[in-house]
Structure 1
Amino acid sequence: MKNIVKLFCVMTLLVFTQFANAQEDTILDDPTLVYDSIQTESPSRHIIKLNVPSLFVGTLSFQYEFFPVNFMSISLGYKFTPKRGMVFEDKVIDLIEDSSGIDNLESTGERFFRDFEFSGNAITPEVRFYLGQGYGKGFYLGPFLRFDNYDFSSNYNFTTFEDQYLIDFEGKYKGFGYGLNIGTQFTIGKHFTIDTSLGPYFSNVKIDFNSVSDYNLSDAEMEQLREELSDFELPNGDTEITLTNNSARMKLTSDNFFNLRFNLGIGFRF
């Protein structure tokens, strides 16, 4: 994590230097800009935004953006997800079947995805550098960090030759990531903005599943359960499973898992 923070700081410093030099060269090439900036009324330095696509998946996502100087902003995003089921669960099942080689996931793990519920939040600090009019107008690059924290629960239908068990699972999802937003923002009227961006995002993920029950599994049943649970895995990740006769723990980790972060925000500036 320390190396990622260092990389974020270096990337931010490099972008800051390039944009600062670009702004300085622009002023030197056209000295009248200095006079014009003095005569012009100070622009609004604060924007509060709502991420529209998040609403379609049951999540509230907000961002506050502040402009200490014309070409740079500091922002903090907060995303909250109330307790809900899995989004696009049928698509998720099809995707896992294709990637894992399981012919019929519905006969083994469908109950887990149907009963899956989760809630949590994410915090995203970001530094943006605007090339253009400044103060939140035009093209920008935005290095960012992201911290995710979610709780979840579900049931797993475990069937053996002799019996059938419904195993209750609870767990936690923790993620830390970094990336670069590439986007543009423009103002409608005096107070409203539209912000759209798309950029790479790399995340380090840790997921813990835990279950304690009244069941007393045999050694053969434990081995069968271990084989079934081993089908749960993350890209570029490891799976660690610990079983006893009446408990199960599964730990999934993934490093530098690649994502694309898309944003379409409507904002109010003041």
Structure 2
Amino acid sequence: MNRIVTALLLGLLFSVSASAQFHTASVSYSDEDESQIKPNILKLNVAALALKNISIQYERILTRRSSVALGLRYAPETTLPLTSMIKKAVLDEPGTERSLAGTIENATLANFAITPEYRLYLGKGYGQGFYIAPFYRYAVYDVKKMNVTYGEAMSKNIDLGGKFTTNTGGILLGAQWYLAKCLKLDLWILGPGYGTGKGNIEGVNQGNFTPADKEDIRKELDKIDIPLTKKTYEITDNAVKLKLDGPWAGIRSGITVGVKF
């Protein structure tokens, strides 16, 4: 079961991370055009689409050097992104149960995040050039259908599911250019974030657990080892309740295309 949690965390990481390298020409306004600059930019993160996420951002230019932005990310319930990569990373470990492949394939994940940020432009300004952006992110991940086997010959199973909530802060390094008069390209180069996460994962059995079942499940839960994370669990006559509380880290990156108005 410790590898199930590893697979889940890999899925969460892949669901919010993307990167790319590219070069583009920039278009700039002259000083006499500054009074005509449109201060609003609505963007779509095209890199996130490949990871089954819909990510949009609204930016409001305040001054030559500063702006504020608000990002929203949503992913409907679906299988874990990059399932084959996660399976290879987890199942290649020596001693891993091959039945875990079914758990990874069947588990589903949905998520929502809201990310406000403040941008400080270092180059030409007015929404173009390199920038530094302190940000805060609140995210909720909804996990379902984590099928866990236990008992003699691993002949019994129970589905676990629940929510994991994170609060993180960080700094994004990026750059934004004009593609055309009202079209912009924004590269989120690197945005490490760090904070806290809390999760409640539960499963209800159709019948009551036997004393032997409870002991087998307890052994599986004791195998979970997440560094710096506090783990508590409760096994009732027909349910398993697992709580996780500890630090959380992530990386923001992506490619967005936006329209100024």
**Normalised TM-score (structure 2):** 0.80
- The equivalent residue for 2:132 is 141
- The equivalent residue for 1:164 is 155
Match runs of 1:169-208 below 5 Å:
169-197=160-188, 198-208=190-200
- Structure with higher Rg: it is 1
- The equivalent residue for 1:214 is 206
C-alpha displacement at 1:226, in angstroms? 1.7
- Superposition misfits of 4+ residues, deviation over 3 angstroms: 36-41, 93-98, 230-235
Query: Is the 1:214–1:246 Cα contact (8 Å) retained in structure 2?
Result: yes
**Normalised TM-score (structure 1):** 0.78
Q: Which structure would you say has the larger RCO, counting Cα contacts within 8 Å and 6 or more residues apart?
A: 2
Following the alignment from structure 2 to structure 1, what is the Cα–Cα distance between the partners of residues 84 and 223?
18
One of 253, 258, 269 as aligned partner of 2:249: 258
Match runs of 1:65-76 below 5 Å:
65-76=59-70
User: Which deviations, in whole Å up to 9, do the C-alpha atoms of 1:131-179 show, x marking residues without a partner?
Assistant: 1211111010000000001222114242322772231222011111111
Equivalent position SS for 1:208: strand
- The equivalent residue for 2:49 is 55
Query: Is the 1:171–1:207 Cα contact (8 Å) retained in structure 2?
Result: yes
C-alpha displacement at 1:39, in angstroms? 7.1
Identity of aligned residues (%): 28
Following the alignment from structure 2 to structure 1, what is the Cα–Cα distance between the partners of residues 75 and 209?
36
Equivalent position SS for 2:216: helix
Following the alignment from structure 1 to structure 2, what is the Cα–Cα distance between the partners of residues 163 and 106?
12
Query: Is the 1:203–1:258 Cα contact (8 Å) retained in structure 2?
Result: yes
C-alpha displacement at 1:76, in angstroms? 0.2
In terms of fraction of residues, the more helix-rich structure is 1
Q: Which runs of 5+ in 1 are unaligned?
A: 1-35
Equivalent position SS for 1:214: coil
Instruction: State the AA in 1 paired with 2:215.
Output: E
C-alpha displacement at 1:40, in angstroms? 4.3
Query: Is the 2:107–2:147 Cα contact (8 Å) retained in structure 1?
Result: no
Aligned length, in residue pairs? 231
User: Which deviations, in whole Å up to 9, do the C-alpha atoms of 1:98-141 show, x marking residues without a partner?
Assistant: 7xx7611323x333322111223100000000012111110100
